[in-house]
């Protein structure tokens, strides 16, 4: 078997550090490096059956990517193993005394690894482990590390218990303090003993030399620094949006493009944006903003939209019938009904528009995080001509220039005048123009097909 490794992967696999973090850009081979290390741990002690634990954030992630990579390596190396079933008779007795073997990987030399999701990590406190590989660890709860390392016991005197984490960076998070901090340690998350870290950018992927360039074309500059270059930066600092009024505003002329009506739902002011998004060209145009103060309601905003735009939208014919088409979008909370409210905001919008418009995509998209929305928007702000906003949208322009992150890494909502228009802006952008993301394609059968395999 030929193991394909570049220098940083080799250093990670061969290091004798007790605690080691591999920080890599998207597609830099983080999971492959972790799987090679786990493979090495499980096969290098033929006379000592060792128990280990392999983790990912969810079972879907674990089985599609983390475990699948390791099973591919074992298969290529022709190492006998079973997964999800009891070891066959004649294999060595194992230290991992499992009553059930669901999600347990067993090798013919007696080595075993519990393969676990961290969705309910407190349940992993029991059991013994001699090593731990955790994949995509930036999304772990900070309490996971002491919980899993609390399983390190039961091996012979003098045994070294190793931890290996593989991930993309995420600013000054728990990974930073546990493996990297020097002089700025966190008392509640002290640096681990005998710890170190290794960094590798996406450019290290020699099998897809154009991958980094393709990702940069999709990501914003700040996000690319983290996700491609694998550098530690604080994305949640300063202004939220990379907006420049000289680059991103213009005197726009509406020419019949499909229109999105996007609302943010507030007590005062009531606001909406009139936008168009071309998904194929990845462009956004904001034609108009609606702001009604003094305790106006959702139906008031809808009626103001009909007054301004009802006759400007292109007319379509379907036999004898003519109609105008709009897409509605905005805050996904519109589908929730208050305790004393007979209707949701979505119900009100649909009722107001049903007689005049054909309505598309009525809030069918799932909510994303604040950071996701900001990154999606900033990727477009960094692309020349992708976003243009009519100069009359003064409230949206002010929002884009003044909305900032607070000291807790959340969008600062302390000024009641701000965030309403950027909320109405970010929802349709995030729903229709997320990153053209990269998912490493695995050239192996799915892990569910390994469940029934006995390679011995």
pLDDT, tens digit, for every residue of 343-398? 888 888 888 888 888 888 656 666 678 888 898 999 899 888 999 999 999 999 99
Query: Global pTM?
Result: 0.68
Is 80 exceeded by the pLDDT of residue 446? no
**CATH 3.30.420.280 domain locations along the chain:** 245-432
Whether 72 and 78 have beta carbons less than 8 Å apart is answered as no
Residue where the block lists tokens 């060209």: 281
Phi, psi of 335 (to 5 degrees): -85, -5
What pLDDT does 338 receive?
58
Whether 312 and 410 have beta carbons less than 8 Å apart is answered as no
Arithmetic mean of pLDDT, 419-433: 92
What pLDDT does 297 receive?
87
CATH architecture entry for 245-432:
2-Layer Sandwich (3.30)
Domain 7-208 has CATH 3.40.50.300: yes
- Confidence band of 450 (pLDDT split at 50, 70, 90): very low
What pLDDT does 97 receive?
58
CA distances (Å), origin 31, targets 60, 68, 82, 202, 264:
15, 10, 21, 13, 40
**Of 131, 211, 175, whose CA–CA distance to 22 is shortest?**
175
Task: Write out pLDDT tens, residues 232-269.
Answer: 877 667 889 999 999 999 999 999 999 999 988 877 88
Task: Write out pLDDT tens, residues 19-51.
Answer: 999 999 999 999 999 999 999 999 988 777 789
What pLDDT does 160 receive?
94
**Of 434, 433, 429, whose CA–CA distance to 260 is shortest?**
429
- Confidence band of 278 (pLDDT split at 50, 70, 90): very high
More confident call, 182 vs 115: 115
First-to-final CA distance of the chain: 17
What pLDDT does 363 receive?
64
């Amino acid at each position: 078997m030929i193991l394909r490794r570049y220098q940083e992967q080799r250093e990670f696999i061969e290091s004798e550090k007790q605690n080691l973090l591999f920080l890599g850009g998207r597609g830099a081979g983080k999971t492959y490096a972790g799987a090679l290390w786990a493979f090495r741990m499980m096969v290098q002690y033929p006379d000592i059956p060792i128990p280990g634990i392999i983790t990912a954030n969810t079972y879907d992630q674990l089985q599609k990517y983390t475990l699948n990579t390791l099973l591919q390596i074992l298969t290529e190396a022709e190492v006998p193993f079973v997964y999800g079933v009891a070891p066959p008779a004649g294999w060595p007795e194992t230290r991992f005394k499992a009553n059930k073997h669901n999600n347990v990987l067993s090798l013919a030399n007696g080595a075993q690894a519990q393969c676990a999701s961290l969705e309910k990590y407190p349940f992993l406190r029991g059991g013994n482990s001699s090593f731990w590989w955790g994949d995509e660890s930036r999304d772990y709860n900070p309490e996971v590390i002491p919980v899993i390392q609390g399983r390190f016991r039961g091996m012979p005197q003098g045994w070294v218990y190793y931890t290996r984490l593989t991930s993309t960076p995420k600013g000054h998070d728990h990974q930073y303090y546990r493996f990297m901090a020097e002089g700025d340690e966190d008392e509640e998350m002290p640096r681990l003993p005998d710890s170190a870290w290794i960094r590798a950018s996406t450019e290290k992927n020699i099998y897809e030399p154009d991958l980094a360039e393709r990702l940069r074309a999709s990501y914003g500059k700040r996000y690319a620094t983290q996700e491609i270059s694998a550098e530690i930066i604080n994305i949640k600092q300063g202004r939220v949006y990379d907006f420049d009024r000289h680059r991103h505003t213009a005197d726009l002329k509406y020419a019949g493009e499909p229109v999105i009506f996007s609302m943010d739902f507030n007590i005062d002011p009531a606001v909406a944006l009139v936008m168009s998004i071309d998904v194929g060209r990845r462009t956004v145009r904001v034609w108009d903003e609606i702001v009604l103060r003094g305790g106006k309601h959702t139906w008031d905003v809808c009626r103001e939209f009909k007054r301004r735009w009802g006759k400007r939208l292109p007319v379509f014919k379907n036999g004898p019938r003519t109609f105008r088409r709009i897409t509605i979008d905005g805050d996904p909370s519109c589908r929730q009904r208050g305790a004393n409210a007979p209707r949701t905001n979505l119900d009100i919008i649909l009722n107001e528009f049903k007689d005049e418009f054909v309505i598309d995509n009525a809030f069918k998209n799932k909510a994303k995080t604040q950071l996701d929305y900001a990154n999606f928007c900033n990727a477009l702000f960094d692309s020349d001509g992708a976003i243009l906003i009519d100069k009359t949208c003064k409230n949206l322009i002010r929002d884009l220039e003044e909305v900032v992150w607070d000291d807790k890494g959340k969008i600062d909502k302390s000024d009641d005048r701000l965030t309403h228009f950027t909320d109405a802006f970010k929802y349709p952008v995030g729903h229709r123009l997320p990153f053209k993301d990269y998912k490493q394609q695995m050239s192996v059968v799915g892990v569910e097909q390994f469940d029934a395999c006995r390679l011995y």
